[in-house]
Structure 1
């Protein structure tokens, strides 16, 4: 709750808008900043160093090798039904995890605040953004806003675009989860805009 109130306070102070990463990314890509915040709440619970490995795409050998590395380096992790969630203590540790996953060709892993998937590696390389740069909150948020905007241009509806950001525009309950977080923000802010995408192509 404190983080939500902190965000709303910053959104309300126009003089400091340029210093707020949510507002900057939202204005750059025509996306309601609170939508970006809601997505990051669902994706990472606002943790910039978290890395999630797609558990279902791992071989047993890959799983064992990853767990051995994490335990050997004393890095905290949890195994869930779909992901292995890795909580690094600092940015150096997180960079080491990314290097390990990338160098060993792990098929699918998500990085940072907005959980950007490594499938975007080639696109990011063209922008001169290495994977470990996604640990930077501003960079991560800007890349995510661009991905989300491209989803919206393709699908032309908020729900499909938000679902597509998560991997599939249909048969996906992701929009419902994001909407629940967004409603918390909008209810706390009387004049909150419900227009999620507003840039004109």
Structure 2
């Protein structure tokens, strides 16, 4: 099934990638709009489920994997849910993990563009204005990658109503990817 899903994802042109069931499943499960997930994936990997970014490995000791560029520092936590590094090259699994991490960011930072920026810039090394700038720059990149049919709202990132309600429940962020 995973192989079929990955093949279907790869076979779908970028303009129709939101029609793939994986996007809707991840969006519904974690309350993050599929348009936002698409914009993050486009920003992170150019929609490439096999992408690996080791550019910051020497500086941070970590690297990014797959469609949503899941950082390797999450691997020990993901292993507790039975997800291995090799699994993150499956577009649907990677998308689920990315949606889970975005929902967690919303729960920690509110439903804001800062939370979208925190998906990429955790600011464990950056502080103050440098952190704010990194998050703002990333959020702007994501915003520009929103599908053109998506209403653009500068005040808050796209979020589903179900997701807003789910974030009010403390157990939401403890759900396994």
TM-score by length of structure 1 reads 0.62
Confirm whether residue 7 of structure 1 aligns to residue 17 of structure 2: yes
Where does residue 151 of structure 1 map in the other structure?
A: 105
Q: Structure 2 CA distance, aligned partners of 1:195 and 1:108? A: 29
Confirm whether residue 58 of structure 1 aligns to residue 21 of structure 2: no
Where does residue 130 of structure 1 map in the other structure?
A: 84
Confirm whether residue 166 of structure 1 aligns to residue 120 of structure 2: yes
Confirm whether residue 116 of structure 1 aligns to residue 76 of structure 2: no
Where does residue 145 of structure 2 map in the other structure?
A: 181
Deviations 1:30-80 (A, max 9, x none): 01101000100000011111111034x428xxxxxxxxxxxxxxxxxxxxx
> Structure 1 pair 181/153, CA: closer, same or farther in 2 (3 Å)?
same
How many residue pairs were aligned?
137
Deviation of 1:181 (Å)? 0.9
Deviation of 1:171 (Å)? 1.9
**SS class of match (2:146):** helix
Structure 1, unaligned runs of 5 or more: 11-18, 60-105, 188-193
Q: Structure 2 CA distance, aligned partners of 1:171 and 1:46? A: 25
Q: 1:163, 1:175 within 8 Å by CA — same for their partners in 2?
A: yes
TM-score by length of structure 2 reads 0.70
Where does residue 29 of structure 1 map in the other structure?
A: 30
Higher strand residue share: 1
Deviation of 1:161 (Å)? 1.0
**SS class of match (1:184):** coil
Q: 1:151, 1:161 within 8 Å by CA — same for their partners in 2?
A: yes
**SS class of match (2:54):** strand
Q: 2:36, 2:158 within 8 Å by CA — same for their partners in 1?
A: no
Q: Structure 2 CA distance, aligned partners of 1:26 and 1:129? A: 19
Where does residue 44 of structure 1 map in the other structure?
A: 45
Deviations 1:94-153 (A, max 9, x none): xxxxxxxxxxxx921100000000000111111111111100011100001000000000
RMSD: 2.1
Q: Structure 1 CA distance, aligned partners of 2:117 and 2:40? A: 11
Structure 2, unaligned runs of 5 or more: 1-12, 123-130, 152-156, 169-177
